[in-house]
Amino acid sequence: MNRKKLQKLTDTLTKNCKHFNKFEVKCLINLFYHLVGGITEQQGTAIGLDRNAFQNILYRTFGMLDDTIMDRVFRGFDKDNDGCVNISEWIYGLSLFLRGTLEEKMKYCFEVFDLNGDGFISKEEIFHMLKNSLPQQPSEEDPDEGIKDLAEIALKKMDYDHDGKLSFADYEQAVREETLLLEAFGPCLPDPKSQMEFEAQVFKDPNKFNYM
């Protein structure tokens, strides 16, 4: 990408970006093109990070291991559902992912945990996520029983209107009372250490770029 095009793209994305300044946006644009292999847009089709490339970043950079959660994070970034994260989805997604307000993070996490997208988190969805994220003990006769109990406890604690499922209002109230419940069903945001390491590596002189 030539300098003029890069400048225009940086200006456009910075204008619509809540949590990054112009320098940071430029660094993230450089990282994006580095990750997609420096390909430029061809024949009018926008380039981007496909599901595998994106999940590889979540795994290598932010230590995420759960395939279900990583898939939901990918869907959270891929706003137009075209199967790849384009440059604007990358910038705006990372803006929330790294520096979002509690309100933004609650909305994002709820959407990640609402596996079927029906606006509620069901007991079955809680069970599925906890089963994937909790280590199972080989000595247990039926390890699913303990996870079912945990799902039951989590639902009872957070289901304020007692309808057997979590609405966003239930989830929001629970998180406002205890912020540790933000990622109650699996890590879908970067931990502080990996966030700091990522920012320290990426937000430096964009002309001396070296990442991964």
Write the DSSP assignment of 83-137 as a string of letters: SEE-HHHHHHHHHHHHH--HHHHHHHHHHHH-TT-SSSEEHHHHHHHHHHHSPPP
pLDDT value, residue 127: 95
Rg, Å, the chain Cα set: 19
pLDDT band at 42 (very low <50, low <70, confident <90, very high): very low
**pLDDT tens per residue, range 104-113:** 999 999 999 9
pTM attached to this predicted model: 0.87
Of 87-91, 131-135, 154-158, the one with minimum mean pLDDT is: 131-135
Torsion of the alpha carbons at 133, 134, 139 and 143, rounded to the nearest 10: -80
- Average pLDDT, integer, range 162-168: 97
**Residue 205 pLDDT more than 70?**
no
Extract the tokens encoding 171. Answer: 């989830």
Contact (Cβ atoms closer than 8 angstroms) between residue 185 and residue 121: yes
Which of 140 and 169 is assigned the larger pLDDT?
A: 169
Average pLDDT, the chain: 89
Which of 145 and 49 is assigned the larger pLDDT?
A: 49
Show the domains of the chain with their CATH numbers: 10-39+48-100+192-202 (1.10.238.10), 103-183 (1.10.238.10)
**pLDDT tens per residue, range 46-104:** 689 999 999 999 999 999 999 999 999 999 999 999 999 999 999 999 999 999 999 99
- The distance in angstroms from the start CA to the end CA of the chain is 21
Of 14-18, 42-46, 110-114, 168-172, the one with minimum mean pLDDT is: 42-46
**Residue 14 pLDDT more than 80?**
yes
pLDDT value, residue 207: 57
